[in-house]
């Protein structure tokens, strides 16, 4: 697998053909990765983190430190599953046309890239013109911001709706190991030549992927460039004060102004929903620590929160998936105790902060 340099340690993960997910664990060398990869081929779906890292987390060192990635490439993942989860039928050909547009564009710019057919979609690996080695979460955010800006440009130019731009620079995200077997689809993850990308339909690609294709196929010559925002020092930011914001109530609960826009909206983002649901769950227990709540109260909170969400009329509402997500919020998190309400710093980082309102907790920091 010589198309990009593989750094170690990195994490691996197996997902069975039935969707059952194993735990993440670390491999520390190419030999360990190869043993893992070959052991899973044909029996399960083998994934690894998109990046390698320079450190692990003490004291047990059984997980990598996601603030120490070695970033010299990014991966664009094209598939239809996000649409299908929302009940929208997207033909494979529709998604493939986007991959073709991206491939033609990258060729026209002579940007180096590698295209892999994964069975259900495509993975496009794009090397960068330089290597980034952040050591803090603030440096990681800076690189992600530069990457998001590049993804936004390409999305606007090429209309890449079947690609999630947030995945490309996700330093903890997983990707299928190239040249590994897709047990769910019954085919191999294989590299593609330009003619195959542009001319073969899904049936043709599936036929091609019935046999492994070792090695890689390179397109273009130069690494992609991302422009990082200016480096700044880290300090507590003075957030502009906002006044006269109307109170929005929901079941006699005053909803934070940054979260109320998700109420009654056709299809709010996943993060907006997560923060709203986490806040409401915390409010149900009067912001006591999650572990202080009885199992009986938690069960009642699940029913109450699901009922509130159903009444919002979100376009992709699904009662079973909603119940699963709500239970994860109320029963999951650290030590399976439930999630805390989001802090203002998290709300601001995700782009939902409306300014320093009367509920501001003083946690927003900035690099300047």
Which band of pLDDT confidence, cut at 50, 70 and 90, is reported for residue 18? low
Residue 223 lies in a domain: no
Angle formed at CA 111 by CA 107 and CA 112, multiple of 5 degrees: 100
- Which DSSP string corresponds to 210-272? TS---S---B-SB-B---PPPP--EEE--PPB---PPPEEETTEEEPTTTGGGTT-SS--HHH
Element (H, E) at 188: strand 187-188
Residue 256's domain spans which residues? 248-367
Give the pLDDT score at 97: 96
- What is the C-alpha to C-alpha distance for residues 72 and 54, in angstroms, rounded to an integer? 14
- What is the C-alpha to C-alpha distance for residues 292 and 325, in angstroms, rounded to an integer? 21
Please determine, for residue 76, whether its predicted confidence score (pLDDT) is greater than 60: yes
Of 208, 226, 259, at which residue does a domain stop?
208
Residue 226 lies in a domain: no
Residue 216 lies in a domain: no
The alpha carbons of the chain give a radius of gyration, in whole angstroms, of 22
Please determine, for residue 238, whether its predicted confidence score (pLDDT) is greater than 60: no
Q: Indicate if 35 and 93 belong to the same structural domain.
A: yes
Of 159, 181, 208, at which residue does a domain stop?
208
Q: Indicate if 293 and 361 belong to the same structural domain.
A: yes
Which band of pLDDT confidence, cut at 50, 70 and 90, is reported for residue 2? low
Of 208, 237, 265, at which residue does a domain stop?
208
Please determine, for residue 14, whether its predicted confidence score (pLDDT) is greater than 90: no
Confirm whether pTM is higher than 0.75.
no
Please determine, for residue 203, whether its predicted confidence score (pLDDT) is greater than 90: yes
Q: Indicate if 262 and 198 belong to the same structural domain.
A: no
Give the pLDDT score at 320: 87
- What is the C-alpha to C-alpha distance for residues 38 and 75, in angstroms, rounded to an integer? 23
Please determine, for residue 206, whether its predicted confidence score (pLDDT) is greater than 90: yes
- What is the C-alpha to C-alpha distance for residues 30 and 218, in angstroms, rounded to an integer? 21
Q: Indicate if 120 and 256 belong to the same structural domain.
A: no
Give the pLDDT score at 334: 41
Residue pLDDT, tens place only, 355-366? 778 777 766 554
Q: How far apart are the first and last CA of the chain?
A: 40
> Of 235, 242, 270, which Cα lies nearest the Cα of 256?
242
Q: Indicate if 79 and 193 belong to the same structural domain.
A: yes
Residue pLDDT, tens place only, 25-45? 899 999 999 888 888 776 678
Q: Indicate if 58 and 170 belong to the same structural domain.
A: yes
Residue 322 lies in a domain: yes
2, HSE (Cβ side, Cα atoms, 13 Å): 2
CATH, residue 150: 3.90.920.10
Residue 235 lies in a domain: no
- What is the C-alpha to C-alpha distance for residues 35 and 46, in angstroms, rounded to an integer? 11
Q: Indicate if 204 and 252 belong to the same structural domain.
A: no
- Tell me what the mean pLDDT of segment 202-226 comes to: 96
Locate 102 and state its tokens: 């991206």
Q: Indicate the number of domains in the chain.
A: 2
Q: Indicate if 191 and 77 belong to the same structural domain.
A: yes
Residue 242 lies in a domain: no
């Amino acid at each position: 697998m010589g198309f990009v340099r593989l750094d170690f340690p990195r994490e691996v993960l197996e997902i069975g053909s039935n969707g059952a997910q194993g735990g993440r664990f670390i491999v520390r060398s190419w030999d360990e990765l190869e043993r893992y990869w070959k052991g899973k081929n044909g029996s399960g779906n083998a994934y690894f983190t998109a990046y390698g890292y320079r450190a692990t987390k003490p004291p047990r060192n059984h997980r990598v430190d996601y603030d120490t990635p070695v970033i010299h490439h990014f991966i664009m993942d094209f598939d239809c599953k996000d649409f299908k989860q929302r009940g929208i039928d997207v033909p494979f050909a529709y998604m493939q046309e986007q991959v073709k547009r991206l491939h033609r564009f990258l060729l026209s710019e002579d940007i180096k890239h590698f295209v892999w057919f994964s069975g259900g979609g495509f993975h496009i690996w794009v090397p960068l013109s330089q290597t980034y080695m952040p050591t803090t979460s603030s440096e990681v955010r800076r690189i992600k911001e530069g990457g998001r800006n590049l993804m936004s440009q390409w999305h606007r130019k090429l209309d890449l709706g079947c690609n999630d731009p947030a995945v490309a620079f996700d330093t903890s995200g997983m990707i299928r190991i190239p040249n590994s077997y897709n047990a769910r689809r019954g085919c191999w993850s294989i590299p593609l030549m330009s003619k195959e990308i542009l001319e073969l339909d899904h049936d043709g690609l599936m036929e091609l992927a019935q046999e492994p294709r070792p090695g890689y196929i390179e397109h273009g010559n130069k690494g992609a460039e991302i422009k990082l925002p200016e480096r700044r020092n880290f300090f507590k930011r003075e957030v502009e004060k906002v006044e006269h914001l109307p109170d929005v109530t929901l079941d006699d609960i005053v909803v934070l102004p940054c979260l109320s826009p998700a109420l009654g909206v056709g299809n709010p983002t996943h993060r907006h929903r997560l923060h709203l649901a986490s806040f409401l769950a915390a409010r149900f227990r009067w912001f006591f620590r999650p572990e202080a709540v009885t199992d009986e109260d938690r069960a009642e909170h699940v029913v109450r929160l699901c009922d509130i969400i159903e009444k919002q009329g979100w376009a992709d509402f699904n009662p079973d998936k909603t119940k699963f997500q709500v239970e994860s919020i109320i029963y999951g998190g650290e030590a399976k105790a439930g999630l805390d309400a989001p802090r203002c710093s998290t709300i601001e980082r995700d782009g939902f902060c409306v300014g320093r309102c009367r509920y501001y907790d003083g946690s927003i920091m900035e690099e300047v």
